[in-house]
Every structure is written in structure tokens, then in C-alpha cells.
């Protein structure tokens, strides 16, 4: 589903956020991306959903070469991906339901069908009673659940999480992780960036570790990943 | 895109609510440009009416050689009629009586003249269909060739001057409107750019969830359109007020120049439609410029 071939991202001033990273994530897999702050986790996620472009290398998402994508083709790629941001990125003047519906607005799903799917998704994340609340009126956990609802409502192929539990207490962290696992159980490929070792210990999933821009560990080291690494 | 029409409209109205003063500035600029355009449109229309009226009231006068008698004048009139121009002979006495009437109180000075200085003349009663220059010019050329005719006064010089004034006014009005329209587009673009800047976070989030440029731009185009329509309504109200204030003062002037000829004024609905289309275009052009500049940045 996601393949990186010798990907580097060098920022002005010769700062290499990623150096020659090659990896492969299979369809339906749940993978943790870990490493200390500044290891390149967010940069890698940004490259996958085309928020940034690699300096070198190629990135394939569902067979589409992201590194060579025209600007006009970026929206179509992003509609295949759901993203959960650490800082939520919710529209502060729109209600929870409107925020969640935004993803469906973008793909052109009409009124009643849209409302039905929003209600169902809010129920799944336990926010149906907060549908008409504004984001500033929500707790951190509720805001993160709203973001997950927005990221999953259009049935994406891939769900990217950038420290989705970074600001949450342990109870809320488990709630959020359970939602991500449930999405994965429905077939969504999940890639979660985290630097929380407790999370890695609790959920025994494949782990990719980055350090100073280099991929230093793949917990499974499957043959597919070795092939990608050797490519 | 159509499925999202309600969302775009809501978003546009929300944008208008967020910065009402900024949008009021755009609406005022659009209204001012349209008011200028509408006033020049009315002025040129009135001038056109005057031109048509002056053409219709044109008196074609044939001046005869001083030696031509009234009998000879009658034969010349018959020749003119054969050319398709019904003519009537005005004797020297009749011409003097008419002049005395036209001069009113001053007409008494004519009584002191030792003899009638006016020659016999012929007036042509041309039907309206023959007053167009394409028909009139060859007729007048053939009339001038008839022996005994000294000159033909078709009032062409006065009409030509009026046409020149009308043309200059029309060109000037178009130039002023073009400059005002350009300035308006720039003002609308600048105000909308501020709105876009204020909503850049919202735009970023829309793009992160896969919104196309068209999706992001649509609410701003609607905002521009709404500004344009509001400006058009304000301009229409302004024009109606001006017509109400100036109309009673202008009508006697127009009646004086073009006696008994109805002056053509645009129908209110047609004018409103024109203003609405022009206002909408100005607003949409301004917002297109703003979103284009934002997309490039």
C-alpha cells in the first residue's frame, strides 16, 4: 500500500530530515512509526500525503507515485488518505458535525446521505451527543475523536496518525487507540507516528524506528520490507 | 460542485458576516462604478433621443436663384416631386409673414424694410423613411442639379455637430466607466484577499482533507457575486433617486430642444438587469483576481 524507495528530504541549510529511507507497508497493516523528537516521523507522514515533496527517491501510495504527482492530482490522493493531526486542525467556527462532514462535502456526497454517515460516524467515536458543539467547547479527547471521525468518514485506504495521543491522558489514549485498531480491523492501513514507548508495549504491532532521519529498525523485518530496503 | 451549492453559499455568507465593513467598502466601490456607468448610459440615451428628434424635425429648404419667379418655382417643385420629394412653394410674402411670426415682438422691425428681402423658397416634406443619409444624399445632389436652385439647406452641419458631441460623450463615458470598473475590481480583489488571508487556516484544513482549488475558491466567488449584486441594487436606487431629482428639471430643456418628440428612457427593469449583470461581473472578476493571486502565493 505504501512504499518508499531511497527517500531523502533535505531542508535548506543542508538539514536532512530523512536520509535514504526505504520501507513498505502492506494493505491492511497497522504500523507504528517511532523515534525521538526530530527523528523525521512527521516529515515522513507529510511526504506520504503530499504535504511536502522528497528531495530524492520515490514514494508509492496505492500504486501512485506521490513524488511525481501533479499539483492538480494531490486532492484525489488525499481523498484516499485520512490524517489525524496532533494539533487536531478542526475548524473552530464549525460544529463537530460540520467538521466531520467536511470530508464528505469535499468528495461531493449529498445532504441526507452525508447527514446519515456523519451521525453513524459520530456514534462510532462516541460523539453523537456533541454533534452541535464547537471544537473549543470539547475536551482534548473529544477533539481527537472528532478528528478521527473526520479522517475515517469517507472510508480511506490509509489512515495516518501524527502523534494522535500525544496530548492525551492514558485513559483517553486507550480510547483513541481502540478507534484506530477498529478502523484497521475494517481493512484500513494504519500508520501511526508516536514516541510513546508505553503505547508500543501495549499494542504489539509492527514498529519502524527512525533516528536522525534514518530507518534504524523494522520490528518485523519481513522479506517484503527487506526487498523494499534493498531496492 | 453543485451538490455543495448550499455549503458554498453558507460559507460565503459567513465570510460576509465576519468582515462587514470590508465588504461594505467593496459594495460601495461597485455601486459607485455602476452609478457612473448608469448615468453615462442615461446621458447618451437622452442624447440619442435628441439626435433622432432633430433628424425628424429637420426642415429641408431649397433656396432659389433671385431671378426665379413664383411660376418657375412651381415647375421646380413639380420636378422635385418627380424625384420622390413632395415639395411646396413658399412665396416671398409667405416667407416674410412666417419670419415675422417667429420673431414675435421683434417682428415689427420687418415693417420698416423698404422691400421684402426674402426670395421664393421651396420646402420639402420628406417622409421619415427618406431622412436617413443613405437616401437623402443622392436626392439632394440631384435636386442641386435642377436649374434655378441656388442651394439646399438640409441642416446637416448642425446634425453633424450633435453627432460629434454624442460620439465624444459616449467615448468619454466609456473611458470613465472602464477606469472606474478597473479600480473597482482591484478594490474587490484587495478586500477579498484580506478575507482569504483571515481564513487561510480553514483553507489549509480543506486542502488537507482533499479539497480541490475549485472547492476552495467557490465561496469567495459567491462572496464577490453577492457584493456585485448588492452594489447593483445600490446603484439602481441611486439612479432612481437622481432621475427623480433631475428629471423634472431636464424635461423642459429636452422639450425645448426636441419639441413634441418623446425622449426615450431605458425601461427600469432593463436597466436593473444591465446593472445586475455588470455588478455581478465586477464582483466575480475581483474575486477571481483575489483567489488567483492567493493560489499562486
CATH 3.40.718.10 fits domain A26-53+69-218? no
Write out the E strands in A156-213: 158-162, 189-194, 206-211
Using a CB-CB distance cutoff of 8 angstroms, which residues of chain B are in contact with residue A75? 207, 210-212, 215
User: B14-40: string of b/e by CB count within 10 Å (b at 16+)?
Assistant: ebbeebeebbebbbbbbbbbbbbbbbb
**CB-nearest partner of B210 from A75, A89, A111:** A75
Which residue in chain B has the smallest CA separation from A87? Answer: B205
Contact between B208 and A107 using a beta-carbon 8 Å cutoff: no
CB-CB under 8 Å, B7 with A105: yes
Closest Cα in chain A to B18 = A93
CA of B211 to nearest chain A CA: how many angstroms apart?
5
A110 touches B: beta carbon within 8 Å: yes
Which secondary-structure segment (H or E) carries A106? helix A96-107
Looking at beta carbons, which residues of chain B come within 8 Å of A89?
204-205, 208
A62 CB neighbours in chain B (<8 A) are none
- Start-end ranges of CATH 3.30.70.3040 in chain B? 59-154
**Interchain proximity B209–A108, CB inside 8 Å:** no
Q: How many inter-chain contacts (A to B, CB under 8 Å) are there?
A: 49
Which of A72, A78, A110 faces B209 most closely, judged by CB atoms? A78
Give the closest-approach CA distance of B9 to chain A in angstroms: 13
Per-residue DSSP letters for B108-162? GGGGG-SS--PPPEEEE---GGG-SHHHHHHHHHHHHTSTTEEEEE--HHHHHHH
Q: Could you say which DSSP state residue A112 is in?
A: H
Using a CB–CB cutoff of 8 Å, tell me whether A103 touches chain B: yes
Yes or no, beta carbons of A91 and B202 under 8 Å apart = yes
A208 has which bridge partners? A33, A218
What is the pLDDT tens value at each position of chain B, 297 positions in all?
566 778 888 888 888 888 888 888 889 999 999 988 888 877 777 777 777 766 666 667 788 887 888 888 888 888 888 877 778 888 888 888 888 887 877 888 888 888 888 878 888 777 766 666 666 777 778 878 888 888 877 666 666 777 787 788 888 888 888 888 898 889 888 888 888 888 888 888 999 988 988 888 899 999 999 999 999 999 999 888 887 887 677 666 666 555 555 555 567 788 888 889 999 999 999 999 888 877 666
Q: Which member of A72, A91, A110 has the closest CB to residue B3?
A: A110
Angstrom distances, CA of residue A21 to CA of A37, A50, A109, A151, B231: 17, 16, 37, 26, 57
Q: What is the enclosing helix (H) or strand (E) of A198?
A: helix A197-202
A90 to chain B: closest CA residue: B205
Q: What are the average pLDDT values for consecutive 10-residue runs of chain A, which has 231 residues? A: 90 88 91 90 91 90 86 89 88 92 88 90 89 91 90 91 82 84 91 88 89 86 49 47
The Cα A1–Cα B80 span in angstroms is 97
Scanning chain B, the segments in alpha helix (DSSP H) are 5-18, 20-56, 70-82, 92-103, 133-144, 156-198, 200-208, 213-257, 268-296
Q: Which of B199, B210, B296 to mutate to test the interface with A (most CBs of A within 10 A)?
A: B210
- Among A200, A151, A180, residue whose Cα is nearest residue A29: A180
The helix/strand/coil state of A47 is helix
Angstrom distance (rounded) from CA A144 to CA A90: 9
Instruction: Give this complex's ipTM.
Output: 0.84
A212 touching chain B per CB within 8 A: no
CB contact under 8 A, B209 and A150: yes
CA angle at A84 for the pair A82 and A89, rounded to the nearest 5°:
110
**Does the distance separating the beta carbons of A78 and B3 come in below 8 Å?**
no
Residues of B in contact with A79 (CB under 8 A): 209-210
Burial-class residue A68 by CB neighbours within 10 Å (0-12, 13-18, 19+): exposed
What dihedral angle (degrees, nearest 10) is formed by the CA atoms of B140, B143, B144, B148?
-150
Check if the beta carbon of residue A109 is closer than 8 Å to that of residue A117: yes
Rounded to whole angstroms, how far apart are CA atoms B157 and B14?
60
pLDDT tens digits along B219-240: 999 999 999 999 999 999 988 8
Q: Which three cell numbers stand for residue B130?
A: 427618406
pLDDT at B72: 85
Mutation pick from B17, B207, B208, B296 vs chain A, by most beta carbons of A within 10 Å, is B208
Instruction: Check if CATH label 3.10.25.10 holds for domain B59-154.
Output: no
Residue (of A103, A145, A109) closest to A124 by Cα position: A145
Residue A73 forms contact with B (CB below 8 Å): no
Q: Is there a contact between B210 and A108 if contact means CB atoms under 8 Å apart?
A: no
Residue A63: CB atoms within 10 A of its CB come to 7
Say what the pLDDT of residue A225 is: 47
Q: Which helix (H) or strand (E) holds A183?
A: helix A170-185
Question: What pTM did the predictor assign?
Answer: 0.70
Q: Which residue of B209, B215, B216 to mutate against A (max A Cβ within 10 Å)?
A: B209
Q: Does A51 touch chain B (CB under 8 A)?
A: yes
Asked if A76's CB is within 8 angstroms of B207's CB, the reply is: no
Question: What pLDDT sits at residue A68?
Answer: 83
Encode A128-145: b = buried (16+ Cβ within 10 Å), e = exposed.
Answer: eebbeebbeebeebbbbb
As a whole number of Å, the CA-based R_g of chain A is 17
Whether the Cβ atoms of residue A189 and residue A159 lie closer than 8 Å to each other: yes
d(CA A207, CA A200): 8
Of A89, A107, A108, the CB nearest to B208: A89
Contact A205, A189 (CB under 8 A): no
Residue B297: list chain A partners with CB under 8 A: none
Amino acid at each position: 500500500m505504501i512504499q518508499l524507495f531511497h527517500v531523502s528530504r533535505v531542508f535548506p541549510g543542508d538539514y536532512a530530515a530523512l536520509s535514504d529511507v526505504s520501507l513498505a507497508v502492506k494493505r491492511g497493516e497497522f504500523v507504528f512509526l517511532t523515534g525521538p523528537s526530530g527523528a523525521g516521523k512527521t516529515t515522513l507522514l507529510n511526504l506520504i500525503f503530499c504535504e511536502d515533496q522528497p528531495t530524492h527517491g520515490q514514494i508509492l501510495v496505492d500504486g501512485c507515485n506521490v513524488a511525481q504527482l501533479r499539483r492538480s492530482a494531490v486532492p484525489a490522493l488525499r481523498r484516499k488518505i485520512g490524517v489525524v493531526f496532533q494539533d487536531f486542525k478542526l475548524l473552530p467556527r464549525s460544529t463537530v458535525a460540520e467538521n466531520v462532514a467536511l470530508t464528505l462535502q469535499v468528495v461531493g456526497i449529498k445532504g441526507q446521505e452525508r447527514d446519515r454517515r456523519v451521525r453513524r460516524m459520530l456514534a462510532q467515536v462516541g460523539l453523537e451527543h456533541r454533534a452541535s458543539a464547537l471544537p473549543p467547547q470539547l475536551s482534548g479527547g473529544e477533539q481527537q475523536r472528532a478528528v478521527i471521525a473526520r479522517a475515517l468518514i469517507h472510508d480511506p485506504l490509509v489512515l495516518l496518525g501524527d502523534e494522535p495521543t500525544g496530548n492525551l491522558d492514558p485513559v483517553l489514549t486507550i480510547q483513541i487507540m481502540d478507534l484506530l485498531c477498529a478502523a484497521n480491523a475494517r481493512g484500513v492501513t494504519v500508520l501511526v507516528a508516536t514516541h510513546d514507548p508505553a503505547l508500543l508495549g501495549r499494542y504489539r504491532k509492527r514498529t519502524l524506528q527512525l533516528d536522525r532521519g534514518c530507518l534504524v529498525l523494522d520490528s518485523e523485518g519481513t522479506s517484503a520490507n527487506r526487498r523494499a530496503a534493498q531496492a | 460542485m453543485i451538490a455543495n451549492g448550499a455549503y458554498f453559499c453558507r460559507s460565503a455568507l459567513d465570510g460576509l458576516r465576519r468582515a462587514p465593513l470590508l465588504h461594505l467598502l467593496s459594495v460601495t466601490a461597485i455601486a459607485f462604478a455602476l452609478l457612473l456607468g448608469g448615468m453615462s448610459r442615461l446621458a447618451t440615451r437622452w442624447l440619442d433621443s435628441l439626435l433622432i428628434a432633430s433628424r425628424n424635425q429637420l426642415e429641408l429648404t431649397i433656396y432659389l436663384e433671385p431671378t426665379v419667379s413664383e411660376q418657375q418655382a412651381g415647375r421646380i417643385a413639380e420636378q422635385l416631386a418627380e424625384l420622390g420629394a413632395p415639395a411646396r412653394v413658399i412665396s416671398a410674402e409667405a416667407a416674410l409673414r412666417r419670419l415675422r411670426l417667429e420673431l414675435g415682438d421683434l417682428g415689427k422691425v420687418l415693417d420698416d424694410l423698404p422691400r421684402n428681402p426674402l426670395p421664393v423658397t421651396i420646402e420639402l416634406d420628406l417622409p421619415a423613411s427618406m431622412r436617413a443619409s443613405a437616401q437623402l444624399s443622392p436626392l439632394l445632389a440631384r435636386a442641386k442639379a435642377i436649374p434655378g436652385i441656388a442651394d439646399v439647406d438640409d441642416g446637416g452641419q448642425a446634425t453633424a455637430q450633435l453627432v460629434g458631441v454624442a460620439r465624444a460623450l459616449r467615448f468619454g463615458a466609456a473611458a470613465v466607466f472602464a477606469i472606474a470598473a478597473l479600480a473597482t475590481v482591484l478594490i474587490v480583489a484587495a478586500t477579498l484577499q484580506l478575507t482569504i488571508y483571515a481564513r487561510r487556516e480553514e483553507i489549509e484544513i480543506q486542502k488537507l482533507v482533499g479539497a480541490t482549488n475549485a472547492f476552495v475558491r467557490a465561496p469567495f466567488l459567491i462572496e464577490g457575486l453577492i457584493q456585485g449584486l448588492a452594489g447593483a441594487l445600490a446603484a439602481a436606487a441611486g439612479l432612481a433617486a437622481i432621475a427623480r431629482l433631475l428629471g423634472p428639471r431636464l424635461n423642459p430643456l429636452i422639450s425645448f430642444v426636441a419639441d413634441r418628440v418623446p425622449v426615450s428612457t431605458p425601461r427600469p427593469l432593463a436597466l436593473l438587469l444591465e446593472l445586475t449583470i455588470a455588478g455581478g461581473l465586477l464582483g466575480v472578476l475581483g474575486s477571481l483576481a483575489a483567489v488567483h493571486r492567493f493560489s499562486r502565493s
